[in-house]
Amino acid sequence: MEPITEDERKRILESSPVGTFALMAAVVGGMVIAWLFLYYGVFLPRG
Amino acid sequence: MNDTAERKLILCHLWVAFAAFIVACFMGEYQVLERSGLLPALESPTVYFASVSTHGVLMAFVLTTFFIMGFGYALASSSLKQPIWNKPLAWGAFWLALVGVVLAAVPLLLGKASVLYTFYPPMVGHAAFYLGATLLVIGSWIWCAIMLVMFTQWKTANPTKNVPLAMFATAANALLWLWASAGVALEVLFQLIPLSLGWIDTIDPGLARTLFAWTLHPIVYFWLIPAYTAFYVFVPKQAGGFLFSDEMARMAFIVLAVFALPIGFHHLYMDPEQASGWKLLHGIGTFVVALPTLVTGFTVIASLEIAGRLRGGKGLFGWIGTLPWGNTMVLAVILSLLMLIFGGFGGIVNASYAMNAMVHNTAWVPGHFHLIFAGTTVIMYFAIAYYLWPLLLRKPLFSNQLALLQLWTWFIGMSILTTPWHVLGLLGQPRRISTVVYNNLLTLAWKPYELMMIFGGLILLGSACLLIYNLVKTQVTPYAGQFTDEIDYAEPIHKVGVLPEYLNGLTVWNKVIAVLMALSFGFPILQFFFMDTFGSSAWGN
């Protein structure tokens, strides 16, 4: 674990969690795609 | 938690919880073996359904209730920095609940209460099962009262301070449980106990199912909120960072407590006794309650991202690798969130009014609730146990490496168990069957998945034994050193100012719940007292 400077620490604490936004977008997007696949690919074809 | 008597109280609750858990794990593996048809000598529908019922009661009611009570006492005394209010009453609740468990266990093990741990007539179990369950619930109500008294006393004594987040979440859960359990309490008190004792001849199953639906969804959040509490109050600190937002955490607990309650009819989508409009209303509410889970996911992952970056992580996802994966709480939350993603997706499919028809009463449903409960929730119970055990016993955990191995094997085992379970549901396998006869193309297609489930179950059983071994060894291994660690709560990034009452109290939310419950359950319940029931009255005759 590399030590970080006080400035770096302050910058991290004040920055937006961009990685989290990206992960959440991927998860929600994946869920929507999976739901659409189940609805149109499995549920509706069963009649 | 310096008080020896308090530590003993908490430890006793947690030991009852994990004793129930390990017994239930053995039963679970037996069930998957029996159902597969691999060992004909095991095949017995009577034993199978007795085992399923006992497994469900031990996992869903005993493990959870005792764990939540013990964990609640630990959070209340440590976060408020005051003794547990009325310890004799707390012990009384413990013994009452334990007597209830023993009373219910007798008919369960004798096959006299094989009602699949539900409260759905016309299946009716022995009266001792209902009386035992009632004592367990009354014990939990006493715990709720103790939590709310401590919450109120602290607020009165500290009018200018914010209630610690851990206590706010625990009090919200106590309030949620008091409301949630009222439905099944009415059903058991006025319908099932009189029926099982032979005092009445008939009851209205439609009313019973409606009352059980009142309880059935929020009970899941009663189990889940302690896991979410650990997400917010322990994980950021354990990861080496800060809580992203204290206010967002409070809002998530409020929305969980308020909107988990008036939405139970997604369990009745296929039932005839409620109109489709009411079901649609509850269905929409079910999607609303997904919001606090998304907020929780965001806040916890953001807290982890901060911790990872403070530990030197760079780039969009570089912080993930720098997290302390050797910390049981951090590892557990990552695995828990992974299972929550897939379990949550399964839940969205269940809640989708039309698509529910595809998975209703299929193997998909137990696959879903095992992933959410035994996966997402219970893995956090393990992490909390690994965190609390040293603090309660005043000695280090026997083996951190063993704990990490246990968490990984639980995650792997649960993935191997529940993935084929979901697939089986889509292939049309019904739930609640004791045997599969592989004599046609449809059921032959199920066999490889059943075998995978046996393998997953074996991994889970081994993992469960590792947990108990580690906890027992921690308890019995002598330790001569000084152990002074205390519960270390996460701090928010930004200091929280004086919060408005709606983020620091529950009175207003209790009123909101009352209004929502009256709106969503008022007419659906009252209708049973006005409609023609063709020979039976709502409560029986």
CB contact under 8 A, A19 and B316: yes
Nearest to A17 among B305, B344, B355 (CB): B305
Chain A contact for B310, CB < 8 A? yes
What is the DSSP-derived secondary structure letter of residue B357? H
Model pLDDT, residue B541: 53
- The single residue of B48, B73, B222, B369 carrying the catalytic annotation is B369
CB contact under 8 A, B294 and A9: no
Nearest to A13 among B316, B352, B493 (CB): B493
The upper half-sphere exposure of residue B428, i.e. CA atoms within 13 Å in the direction of its Cβ, equals: 8
Contact B36, B454 (CB under 8 A): yes
Model pLDDT, residue B48: 96
- The single residue of B432, B479, B483, B494 carrying the catalytic annotation is B432
pLDDT tens digit sequence for B95-135? 999 999 999 999 999 999 999 888 999 889 999 999 999 99
Model pLDDT, residue B1: 67
**For A44, nearest residue in chain B (alpha carbons):** B355
**For B322, nearest residue in chain A (alpha carbons):** A1
Q: ipTM of the assembly?
A: 0.95
Chain B contact for A33, CB < 8 A? no
pLDDT tens digit sequence for A1-47? 667 889 999 999 999 999 999 999 999 999 999 999 999 999 999 97
Tokens of B353: 């009014």
B532-536: which pairs have CB atoms within 8 A and are 24 or more residues apart? B533/B204, B535/B202, B536/B202, B536/B203, B536/B204
Model pLDDT, residue B538: 65
Model pLDDT, residue B506: 97
Could you say which architecture CATH assigns to the domain B4-477+485-530?
Answer: Up-down Bundle (1.20)
CB contact under 8 A, A12 and B310: yes
Tell me which residues of chain B have a pLDDT lower than 50: none
Nearest to B301 among A9, A15, A23 (CB): A23
Contact B413, B263 (CB under 8 A): no
Tokens of A37: 């696949």
CB contact under 8 A, B355 and A38: yes
CA distance B522 to B278: 11
CB contact under 8 A, B301 and A35: no
CA distance B335 to B207: 39
CA distance B55 to B63: 10
Chain B residues in contact with A12 by the CB 8 A cut-off are 306, 309-310
**Whole-prediction pTM value?**
0.96
Chain A contact for B322, CB < 8 A? yes
Q: Is B315 helix (H, G, I), strand (E, B) or coil?
A: coil
Residue the block writes with tokens 């009577």 = B46
Q: Is B250 a catalytic residue?
A: no
